[in-house]
Chain A
């Protein structure tokens, strides 16, 4: 079933046309990868889904974005809090708060008043467990999250995101700060998580897209050039530009 759909999505940063007539459908409980050269609008597209672009002054969005077949922000004001609870985000740089491991994870719970205090421990356990950090960190819950390794930090950020029980997890180059082994383990984790979440991952790394995703979209200069099953994209691209990119003939 289609989880996220866009119809004639256009976005401008001031006068710069960053997304051009994007039409796509991301499917539920699958991993969808978005690839494309630097500056083609991958992050911009991702940030449309949780409206993080709203932070940028002078942004203009046109067209429809549907999640579960409902416009994310119908006409007029929209409930960003509700939207962002449903659509979580993991960033490129692991960015835990300068708080303890425990406090990082319950941050979202406090913000949404989601659970009573006595359930916090349970949710911390579940969240850390699902990112395979529990055994490493169970004795260090009160230690600063800044003392963790990069990979642990990124896992913690994923745990922090899923602690509020989103439906969709957006990941913007989540492994680009990590070494190959850590990258492989995070990819493993993504495959695990897709049983519960719809995942959209932006990546520069075509092997990564090929390894983890079911569907792949290729973007170029703000346009979605091709969107298909990952193996089709990589073995039988329909568009010349996609082929040039995946064979490395494009910048």
Chain B
């Protein structure tokens, strides 16, 4: 059994699947990370991903092109981010309650709009999704080539956004303002910067990332939109941010770990499905993630002003 698992780990198919599974997770996790680094917990993620999945897909189904669909999904995501921020940033209301509310609202709205535009569809209609693009040269490398360099462009985008987000946060003045807003908003105001604008911007951009993560599922991993598609991935992303101690690099690591376990369990199911009920395999990535979280999050240093609203004119 152990030997079989090792054998799986050596196949290119396993790694290719891992990278595929990791793409929406890393986009969602980066999105959540951007929001939280600015001090705003965004539990709207599950709904915003659903909305992105629907919006991007619908754009293409109505005749738009694929990249247009991604931009449209990002735009809708940012819109929901603005919605979230107007409650949590400007009005200073509970970030938990607002986030859950947005998840419920955005998920339901997605299904509603889908049904409204396509009232007669019985079997889910399909689009032509992003096709794998083998990067010349690199894709010929054994195992790695097939796993990493024969993916869809959206996967490349997801992977490249990790260093991009890291760079913006760590190396640009804007990123510094975002981080500072999550650590001590009064310090941001004291340097003449509008805290509310910084936080709102971060939540909008973060939400756009989430929506693109959702769109990946209907436009790259699959070719259709159906009910329950996001299936808790948003919540996994929220957990991954903690796992990653709010760092983009570690977020990729955590997402890879989770995706790898997920890809592994599907294959292990086929090996041992006869002896062990398949539900145990389905459960495995989550159980192991919880264990990893417990270990990692004890050392996590969270943004000091996470969940703390900033109100102008309050006691400083």
Partners in one complex: no
